[in-house]
């Protein structure tokens, strides 16, 4: 059903606006005339499902949908289709399963518009905050080749593995980050509230203080006197960093630096290669051409320098060069990736080779994260211990001097 807007002439000669639901414009005119309505103008409106889709997209700002929920819904829809249930009934069952979740309203709108004859990919395209461009392109390819069920399974599997890798990295970094925040807060609290009250006693005694105590007093006074300046400076610095990330030149400079960073560069590279390899494998298995797959796959990288290498490789492949040869030129991709892609080209199973590359680098990322965490924890403990030890020493030295003088 579609919504049609019309202007009618009332009994007192006034113009009145109204709407009517009908399948076609002619049916809307016929129904209005049968009801005795004097129509001045009637225009086509959007379908009810489309209007609901717009409302739902606007409400997504208040109801954030998690990637995990989309992955689960994709698994469930693929399972329903595998059981032989047609698409629209499968979407209805999925909506019922999702119950009152925000994602249920999205799939309700998707079901309504698919029921009106639109393709699943075209409807999902109306929800860019929920379904990524890669997701929509794969669904479109699945509809075109009649392999929608398999494509949805690949999407769910890819998303699940990506989420697992991301969660492992986040979980490993939570403890060091927590230690850094708590340690910094404790040190600032000591400098602002504890040290001033203690050092005040030392200053009132008019005795010569050791240099660690004098340095401690100066740092504490600086933090107290310039607290507002420190906050403003920190805010401005943070704003400049955000602006730098938003500019293409600044983002590229950062991406280039982070790849050369001793601790994190290799880890970032492995995560990017894992994401790209798995995404490219799924896109190629879903029937997309290598050029289209590379255009979509580079968007999951998250690093502009690596994305430029992929763009150059895509241009070389478009001119007839081999895939492995195109990736070898810039020297960013490790040799194992190049050799596995070359082997896949020769055997005609490049998708399997890319999936194996992703699995290998997933394991390497997990190992690297554990090693990095085991290194960061003692380093942070050492730094915090040094700061606290310096504070304690600076306070105890004058006390020892006073005791010796009294003795």
What does the pLDDT read at residue 253?
A: 86
Domain boundaries, the chain: 2-47, 52-156, 157-407
- Residue 247's φ and ψ, nearest 5 degrees, are -85, 145
For the stretch 148-152, contacts whose Cβ atoms lie closer than 8 Å and that sit 24 or more positions apart, written own/partner, are 148/81, 148/87, 148/120, 149/78, 149/81, 149/82, 150/286, 151/286, 152/74, 152/77, 152/78, 152/81
Q: Is the pLDDT of residue 232 over 90?
A: yes
What does the pLDDT read at residue 2?
A: 60
What tens digit of pLDDT does each residue of 114-156 get?
888 888 988 888 888 888 888 888 888 888 888 888 888 988 8
What are the CA-CA distances from residue 328 to residues 310, 317, 337, 359 (Å)? 11, 12, 9, 21
Q: Which two tokens stand for residue 318?
A: 């478009």
The answer to whether 158 touches 286, Cβ cutoff 8 Å, is: no
Average pLDDT rounded to a whole number, residues 67-85: 89
22 bridge partner residues: 2
DSSP letter at 15 equals E
Q: Is the pLDDT of residue 3 over 70?
A: no
What are the CA-CA distances from residue 387 to residues 109, 191, 297, 380 (Å)? 58, 11, 46, 11
End-to-end CA separation in angstroms for the chain: 98
What tens digit of pLDDT does each residue of 346-405 get?
777 788 888 888 888 888 888 888 888 888 888 888 888 888 888 888 888 887 877 776
Percent of the chain with pLDDT over 70: 89
The rounded Cα 318 to chain-centroid distance in angstroms is 30
The answer to whether 284 touches 276, Cβ cutoff 8 Å, is: no
Length of the chain: 407
Q: Which two tokens stand for residue 375?
A: 């290194």
Which letter, b or e, does each residue of 77-86 get, where b requires 16 or more Cβ atoms within 10 Å of its Cβ?
bbbbbeeeee
7-16, 108-117, 143-152, range with the lowest pLDDT:
7-16
Fold of 2-47: Ubiquitin-like (UB roll) (3.10.20)
Q: Kindly indicate the confidence band of residue 236, based on its pLDDT and cuts at 50, 70 and 90.
A: very high
The answer to whether 279 touches 296, Cβ cutoff 8 Å, is: yes
What tens digit of pLDDT does each residue of 265-291 get?
888 888 888 888 888 888 888 888 888
What are the CA-CA distances from residue 40 to residues 15, 26, 45, 157 (Å)? 8, 15, 16, 56
What tens digit of pLDDT does each residue of 319-356 get?
888 878 888 876 778 888 888 888 877 777 788 888 88
CA gap 156, 346 in Å, rounded? 29
Query: What pTM did the predictor assign?
Result: 0.67
Q: Which residue has the higher pLDDT, 208 or 86?
A: 86
Q: Give the closest residue to 398 by CA, choosing from 266, 214, 255.
A: 214
The answer to whether 375 touches 262, Cβ cutoff 8 Å, is: no
The answer to whether 3 touches 49, Cβ cutoff 8 Å, is: no
Q: Indicate if 157-407 has the same CATH topology as 52-156.
A: yes
Q: Which residue has the higher pLDDT, 379 or 9?
A: 379
The answer to whether 45 touches 2, Cβ cutoff 8 Å, is: yes
What does the pLDDT read at residue 235?
A: 92
Average pLDDT rounded to a whole number, residues 196-210: 76
Q: Is the pLDDT of residue 99 over 70?
A: yes
Q: Is the pLDDT of residue 168 over 70?
A: yes
| Residue 127 CB partners (closer than 8 Å, separation 6+) | 53, 56, 57, 60, 106, 109, 110
Pick the CATH number of 52-156 from 3.40.50.2300, 3.40.50.720, 1.20.81.30, 1.10.3720.10: 1.20.81.30
Q: Which residue has the higher pLDDT, 20 or 107?
A: 107
261: left (phi over 0), alpha (psi -120 to 50) or beta: beta
Percent of the chain with pLDDT over 90: 3
Q: Which two tokens stand for residue 271?
A: 């995560």
Q: Kindly indicate the confidence band of residue 60, based on its pLDDT and cuts at 50, 70 and 90.
A: very low
Q: Which two tokens stand for residue 273?
A: 């290669």
Which DSSP string corresponds to 287-301?
T--HHHHHHHHGGGS
Q: Is the pLDDT of residue 52 over 60?
A: no
What does the pLDDT read at residue 47?
A: 47
Average pLDDT rounded to a whole number, residues 61-65: 56
Fold of 157-407: Receptor-associated Protein (1.20.81)
The answer to whether 42 touches 4, Cβ cutoff 8 Å, is: yes
């Amino acid at each position: 059903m579609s919504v049609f807007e019309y202007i009618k002439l009332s009994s007192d000669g006034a113009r009145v606006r109204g709407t009517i639901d009908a399948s076609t414009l002619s049916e809307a005119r016929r129904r209005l005339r049968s009801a005795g309505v004097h129509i001045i103008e009637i225009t086509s409106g959007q379908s009810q499902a489309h209007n609901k889709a717009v409302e739902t997209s606007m409400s997504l700002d208040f109801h954030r949908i998690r990637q995990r929920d989309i992955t689960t819904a994709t698994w469930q829809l693929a399972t329903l289709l595998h059981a032989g249930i047609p698409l629209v009934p499968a979407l209805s069952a999925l909506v019922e399963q999702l119950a009152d979740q925000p994602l249920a309203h999205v799939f309700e709108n998707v079901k309504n518009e698919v029921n009106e004859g639109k393709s699943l990919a075209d409807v999902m395209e109306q929800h860019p905050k929920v379904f990524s461009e890669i997701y929509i392109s794969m669904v479109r390819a699945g509809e075109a080749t009649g392999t929608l069920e398999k494509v949805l399974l690949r999407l769910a599997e890819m998303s699940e593995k990506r989420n697992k890798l991301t969660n492992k990295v986040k979980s490993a970094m939570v403890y060091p980050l927590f230690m850094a925040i708590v340690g910094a807060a404790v040190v600032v609290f000591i400098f602002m509230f504890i040290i001033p009250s203690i050092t005040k006693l030392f200053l009132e005694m008019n005795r010569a203080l050791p240099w660690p105590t004098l340095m401690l007093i100066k740092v504490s006074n600086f933090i107290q006197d310039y607290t507002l300046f420190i906050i403003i400076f920190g805010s401005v610095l943070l704003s400049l960093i955000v602006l730098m990330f938003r500019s293409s030149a600044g983002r590229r400079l950062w991406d280039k630096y982070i790849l050369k960073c001793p601790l994190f560069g290799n880890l970032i590279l492995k995560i990017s290669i894992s994401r790209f390899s798995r995404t490219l494998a799924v896109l190629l298995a879903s029937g997309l051409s290598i050029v289209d797959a590379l255009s979509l796959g580079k968007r999951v990288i998250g690093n502009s320098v690596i994305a430029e290498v992929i763009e150059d490789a895509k241009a070389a492949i478009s001119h007839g060069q081999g895939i492995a040869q195109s990736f070898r030129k810039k020297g960013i991709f490790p040799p194992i990736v190049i050799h596995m892609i070359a082997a896949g080209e020769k055997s005609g199973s490049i998708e399997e080779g890319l999936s194996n590359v992703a699995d290998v680098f997933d394991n390497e990322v997990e190992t690297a994260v554990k090693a990095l965490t085991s290194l960061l924890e003692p380093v942070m403990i050492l730094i915090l211990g040094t700061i606290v030890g310096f504070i304690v020493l600076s306070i105890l030295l004058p006390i020892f001097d006073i005791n010796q003088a009294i003795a």
